Amino acid sequence: MTWKVPLLRKHDTSVRRRRGWTILGVMVACSLFLSGCAGNGTASSGWLPQGANGGQVTNNTGRVTSLWIGTWIAALSVGLIVWGLTIWVMVRFRRKKDDVGLPPQLRYNVPIEMLYTIVPVFMVAVLFYYTARDESALLDNSATPDVTVNVVAKQWSWDFNYVTANTYSSGVHTELDPKTGNPLNAMPVLYLPEGKRVQFVLNARDVIHSFWVPAFLQKLDMIPGRTNKFQVVPMEQGTYQGKCAELCGAYHSQMLFTVKVVSPAEYENQMQFLRTLGQTGQLPNTLNRSPLLPADLSSVPTPGSN
């Protein structure tokens, strides 16, 4: 008894072809639509946020953007080669009407095996080199900072110790009106001076958090009992959103803050305003879930001493 393989009719083939083009069109449309969703109140470059005027928000964002775009160019280049070879094989070796039986079967092609082994290893090595190079530069703390800010994360808010100015701002107080002293919004506000090198000293009071300002294209974990640091130079004045990027409990999604990059003169005015409110000294960053606000802050250890 012989079995016959039914041949596809032209109608079935055309239907499948149209269906394939439809799916491809939907995928392209979705990609274009989703590409417009980037941004946190800022413009975007290569699907990454950037300054409102198209500039770089910090001195590090250009490096991150270059690595991002370079990685995508390399990935798309490899994808085009793979897709091209796949389509070429499908067309070149497609089964003809007069073909019978199976095509010749090949085993052990040493050059091809070497190609698909060595090339991916080389690609990974190149990507690792540029990633390690940029990571080292982003975490370089050898330069002397103009301003040091100790950021203390806690469930589910933030404390900001302006170490250089010897003042502090707590998530309990949020942003205050300079005239009345009343709260203006429900989020803590971090002030940074434009054009000055800022060193962030990161500590967590209870569980693991992550300090993230999306427009800075840089974030770093905050681990209890450990101090992490990184430096940036804010290059463009504006208001940026900050958040915790590590799942830290029931109200993780509400652990937000605002970053205001202002002129050096305005920054000094804000530091003086905090002094007039009595917010001098430094809030402790010891391991404690409660919002510590001692009356006498003169004996509080300096940030990072824990």
The pLDDT averaged over each successive group of 10 residues in the chain (306 residues) is 50 61 65 49 51 73 89 91 90 83 79 86 93 92 92 89 90 58 71 94 92 92 92 91 90 89 93 89 74 40 40
Q: Which two tokens stand for residue 225?
A: 């009992």
93-130 CB burial, b ≥16 within 10 A, e <16: eeeeeeeeeeeeeeeeeeeeeeeeeeeeeeeeeeeeee
In angstroms, the Cα distances linking 4 to 1, 7, 149 are: 10, 9, 77
CATH class of 45-96+105-138: mainly alpha
Q: Looking at domain 147-276, which of 2.60.40.420, 2.40.37.10, 3.30.360.10, 2.40.30.10 is its CATH number?
A: 2.60.40.420
Task: Report the predicted TM-score, pTM, of the whole model to 2 decimal places.
Answer: 0.69
pLDDT score at 116: 83
Distance CA 269, CA 108 (A): 74
Distance CA 112, CA 184 (A): 66
Which of 187, 165, 149 shows the shortest CA–CA distance to 275?
A: 165
In angstroms, the Cα distances linking 49 to 42, 63, 191, 217 are: 6, 13, 20, 8
pLDDT score at 13: 58
pLDDT score at 50: 57
- DSSP string for 29-94: HHHHHHHTT--SSSEEETTEEE-TTSS-SBTTHHHHHHHHHHHHHHHHHHHHHHHHHHHHHHHHTP
Is there a contact between 187 and 256 (Cβ–Cβ < 8 Å)? yes
**In the chain, domain spans:** 45-96+105-138, 147-276
Question: What's the chain's Rg over C-alpha atoms?
Answer: 28
Distance CA 171, CA 195 (A): 26
Q: Which two tokens stand for residue 219?
A: 């974030």
pLDDT score at 248: 87
- DSSP string for 204-267: ESSS-EEEEEGGGTEEEEE-TT--EEEEE-B-S-EEEEEEE-S--STTGGG-EEEEEEE-HHHH
Helix (H, G, I), strand (E, B) or coil at 147: strand
Is there a contact between 44 and 38 (Cβ–Cβ < 8 Å)? yes
pLDDT score at 115: 85
Which of 55, 254, 289, 274 shows the shortest CA–CA distance to 149?
A: 274
Residue 116, phi then psi, degrees to nearest 5: -80, 0
CB atoms within 10 A of CB 303: 23
Q: Interhelix angle for 61-92 vs 110-138, to 10°?
A: 170
